[in-house]
Amino acid sequence: MTRTLPLLLATVAALGLDATAFVQAPAAQEATQEARPSRVEGEAFQAPAAPSAGTSTAEQGPPNTEYKPLLPNQTRSPEPSKKAEIETAVFAKGLDSPWAMEFLPDGRMIVTEKAGKIRIVAKDGTPGQPVTGVPKVDARGQGGLLDIALSPGFPSDRTIYFSYAEPREKGNGTTVAKAKLIESDGKARLDDLKVIFRQTPAYEGDKHFGSRLVFAGDGKLFVTVGERSDKGPRVQAQDLASGLGKVFRIETDGTAPKDNPFVGGEKARPEIWSYGHRNVQAATLDGQGRLWTVEHGPRGGDELNRPRPGLNYGWPVVTYGIEYSGEKIGDGQTQAGGTVQPVYYWDPVIGPSGMAFYDKDLIPSWKNQFLIGGLVSTGLVVLKLDGDKVVTEERVPLEHRVRDVRVGPDGAVYALTEDDGQIVKITPKKGS
């Protein structure tokens, strides 16, 4: 191990990764075991406070576990010393369990509803009639019609991409399709619909489908999915021959890019970008064009990650959460050799769904920060990072389950609330 550890660290450096994101291998752990205090019994620790940080944390509730973070500022970062002064207004209402939204080039929105409908919301917030031509979805449980994204060339090709829980002969699974959005005479329809990707194997269940779709700057499409929740299938998050619990990177026709990390492998699926994920329902690019995700943990352990090619994010071997019953998951490990630590985690959970990077000027204090929807925290979670480490966490209460969040062309923030079927517009408070 004394020879392989330097090789591992050299490889990490060559890839431009942060070596502290990887846990020590067993031999290295033994060498430092006496010098390092127990993380379970010890106190959580913080990096030096950022100038913008306050003295209290955003999360005040008791944790579900006694697990302690491996890295500084990995959980319960301080609130900013000065929070954004904002106000909210209902922009649209009357939607039925909306799941995702995206802005069209003309300022309207296109919205998915869980039951299997797509609607175009006018600039004044009025939802249109359902778009025709949407395929059948399995809307049981956490399934249904999920995310939606515009083709990078949408103004000319009018192509949209969407993910959904597809009913199949042996159960169901997350599927990605593309189609042309045609509008005429005040009506809209989908033409030339093609399924470009199917998560396999299928499974007869109603949980953990993911899913988010994010186009990278090079035109490749990131697809996030879940591992289907149950103890039987969830172990396949560690199986490279399985499509459960992965982040995929595909071409617009669904094929695997030649530079994907597992292309050419004997058993690994070539579309895989990263693995060891639980249920990823929040994803976006940062200002450098890098993919970030937030995935649901179990009872505790929601995770912020920056998925990198070929890396293992641990689930279900490693987690900062426990079973809903209170039992340990597996051996109760929060670190293991060959797995990547989360950049940040939450305990108790926020229920992450939807994510955006704020790059506008209307709300200056949120500039270059992540906005994350909270189903359980019933609001927005705003994260400020410095050097890929979280330095402040701000909570914006909206008192509703936030399923998606987007930054509008006007600089306002729009939150999609599933329990009351609304789109809430967030702007600076007048006079602030």
Active-site hit among 208, 277, 296, 400: 208
Rounded to whole angstroms, the Cα distance separating 247 from 280 reads 8
Q: Specify whether 208 is catalytic.
A: yes
Rounded to whole angstroms, the Cα distance separating 356 from 383 reads 11
Q: Of 279, 202, 291, which Cα lies nearest the Cα of 242?
A: 202
Backbone angles phi, psi at 10, to 5 degrees: -65, -40
Q: How many CB atoms lie within 10 A of CB 88?
A: 16
- Separation in Å, CA 31 to CA 36, 220, 280, 295: 10, 43, 36, 33
Is the bond leading into 201 cis (omega within 30 degrees of zero)? Answer: yes
Rounded to whole angstroms, the Cα distance separating 103 from 43 reads 44
Is the bond leading into 72 cis (omega within 30 degrees of zero)? Answer: no
Contact 132, 103 (CB under 8 A): no
Backbone angles phi, psi at 154, to 5 degrees: -55, -40
Backbone angles phi, psi at 148, to 5 degrees: -145, 145
Rounded to whole angstroms, the Cα distance separating 372 from 350 reads 9
DSSP-based three-state secondary structure for 105: coil
Structural tokens at position 53: 């940080």
The burial of 387, by beta-carbon neighbours within 10 Å (0-12 exposed, 13-18 middle, 19 or more buried), is given as exposed
What number of residues does the chain have?
A: 432
- Separation in Å, CA 87 to CA 133, 320, 398, 432: 38, 34, 10, 10
Instruction: List residues with catalytic annotation.
Output: 208
